[in-house]
Amino acid sequence: MAHFPNLGLPVSSLVDEDIYLAGFFVFQTARNTILYEIDELANQVIILRIFGNRQDVAHKVQYYLMNQKRG
């Protein structure tokens, strides 16, 4: 991810709610979904959470962004 930070999709492709999503991305593998953000100024990829795909990933991502990251 450090070499290709834009490989993931914007979170808005996963979550339908109208919450502030700019700068957040998800990268899905066969088993996990990685939620991350890109800090352009520091030239860093910040991994926020890793979710197992057996969970309701869209719901978990939305909950995290609304209650943990933005709250």
Phi and psi of 60, rounded to 5°? -65, -40
pLDDT at 36: 93
H or E segment and range at residue 48: strand 44-52
pTM: 0.80
Kindly state the average pLDDT of the residues 57-66: 86
pLDDT in tens, 7-52: 788 887 777 655 556 778 999 999 999 999 988 888 889 999 999 9
Residue ranges of domains in the chain, CATH in brackets:
5-69 (3.30.2310.20)
- The residue among 11, 7, 6 whose CA lies nearest residue 65 is 11
SS3 breakdown of the chain: % helix, strand, coil, rounded to 5? 25, 35, 40
